[in-house]
Each structure stands twice: as structure tokens, then as C-alpha cells.
Structure 1
């Protein structure tokens, strides 16, 4: 039985947010977008997701204004997908989920290290650099293979 998509009997922002981003493929599309993936075929290659599933997730993310379609070629017409400000605001949640997964499901260590481009330090749970103390956002970091890669 599917969960209802309306919440008249409860006032729960978590439940409402999960209706939009609580699906595995949706979160992986968002993760890939943070990693710089923009084009449909590149999302498919990176994720190994079926075309119809990817189409559905990208359409939903655009409908919810988390991503937007931007033309990059006229003939034939082709689009890329970019995170909107609303999408970029998911970065702290994505990083928190990554760090939680590293703590509980990465027995060989984190598969990916989120590093500060400025000094090479790493992201802390407070979204600061463990080396220089700078507050970090998605534009301040890059990723590199970790010990569990």
C-alpha cells in the first residue's frame, strides 16, 4: 500500500520533503548534479538508471523547481539540467546524509572525501574546514577518492 501524498491529519515538513526527494534515484540525480553532471546521457552513464526512470526523476525535479532545463544545442534541440537555488539548498542535507553513511555503512572508510579547495582540508559536520576553519558551501569543495573507494 502506497503512502498518501496528502497530510491533512499531520503537519510534517519531513513527510512533504520526502515526497519530493525521498526516492533513491532522485537523491542520486541530485548528488550527480552536485558533482557537475548536467546532461541526460551523462546522468544515465553515471548512475546506470533506466531512461524512463531518469526522465521521470528529472521531470519531477524540474516541476518542483529543484532543477531547471537549459538548452545547450539548437539542432537537434538538446538540454542540460542545472540545480536551482532551491536545489543548491539541499547541499547540507546531502552532505549530512553522506557523513552519516560514512559513519555507519563504510567499514573500510569513506569512499569519497569532501575537501576544501582553498586549503585541502576536509568538510566537518558543522560545514567548516577541519584545517583552516572556513565555513564551506558547495562551491568551496571538491571530492577525491577516500580509503573506502
Structure 2
């Protein structure tokens, strides 16, 4: 997917992320992995994906460190694909995407919902700042040029408070 990133977007973290997980099948494979699927035949049966496409996507996910390929059988060799820590860190993104999709549907038209495992109550995820717990609304939180930003990126965000005025990890104050 790296070839699909525009030259001017190479430093953009969103573009870089889409280069890894922006393909439709990739997100569905990750969703299955979060649901406990690990084996090639499980992914293929559930997704109805061709062997060649699944092989390609699993290779991309392992190359990028989101899944780890582990042998679970010899004679013949068989492998499973297990989420890595990096792969597991994408779960909130996928949960949020699913919630966004559900928010566009009437409750009776939702085929999959997020629930509290203990109570069974449906939950609505929100994205918040880790330090303050405040929702990341666009009135309060905005993107700004970071320390490694090119001149073009600095120009794009020139109207936003300089990165040096924010804390190093984005904790505490906002732009």
C-alpha cells in the first residue's frame, strides 16, 4: 500500500497508518483476530476471502508486526496468526470505526454491537485524552506541527500554537 501514499503525505501519521491497515480485507482480518480467530482456514471460512488475497494480507500484517506467525503443527507444518501487542493496540480504532458505523443505523438495524461483558449493556465508545479524560472534540483538541514536521507541514498548521508550547507527549495542555 505504500505506493498509494501521496508524496506530500509521507510524513503524515494518518497516511502512514492507512498504508498499513487501510485496505478493506486487512481491517476485517484484524476484526476476526480480535474475536479469537488465529488460523488461515478460520479467517477464510468466516470472511469468504480467496486464498491468495488472504495469504497476501496475512503476509502484510506479519511484515508490519501486527500479527505473529506461529507454528502449531508439524508434518505438515501449520501456522496460526496471533495478534502482537502492536496489533492489539489497534482494537480501540476498530471498535470506534464499528461504533461510528452503528451510529448511522437505527438500533434495530445493527447486526453487531459493543456490550459490557458483565452486564450485557450496550456501550458507546468515545475517544478521550489519556491525561484528562476529556473527549477529543475539535473545538478543544486540534492537530499541530510536531517536532519532526517539514516546512510544508509547519505551514499547514501555522495558525495553531507551536508544538514547543505543548508538552512533549501532548499531556496536560492543548493547543
Taking structure 1 as the reference length, the TM-score comes to: 0.76
Q: Any runs of at least 4 consecutive aligned residues in structure 1 with deviations exceeding 3 A, and if so which?
A: 2-8, 105-108
The equivalent of 2:104 in structure 1 is 104
Question: Per residue, is there more strand in 1 or in 2?
Answer: 1
Q: 1:117 to 1:107 in 2, by over 3 A?
A: closer
Gaps of 5+ in 1: 128-149
Greater Cα radius of gyration, structure 1 or 2: 2
CA apart distance, 1:12: 0.8
Aligned-partner Cα distance in 2 for 1:104–1:113: 13
Q: Secondary structure at the match of 1:119?
A: coil
Bigger RCO (CA 8 Å, 6+ sep): 1
CA apart distance, 1:30: 0.4
Equivalences for residues 1-149 of structure 1 within 5 A: 4-5=3-4, 9-10=8-9, 11-105=11-105, 108-126=108-126
Q: 1:7 to 1:79 in 2, by over 3 A?
A: same
Q: 1:91 to 1:50 in 2, by over 3 A?
A: same
Gaps of 5+ in 2: 128-175
Which deviates further from its counterpart, 90-99 or 110-119? 110-119
- 1:16-70 deviation line (CA, Å, top 9, x unaligned): 1001100010010001101111100110000000100000000000000000011
Q: Secondary structure at the match of 1:115?
A: coil
Q: 1:105 to 1:18 in 2, by over 3 A?
A: farther
Q: 1:21 to 1:111 in 2, by over 3 A?
A: same
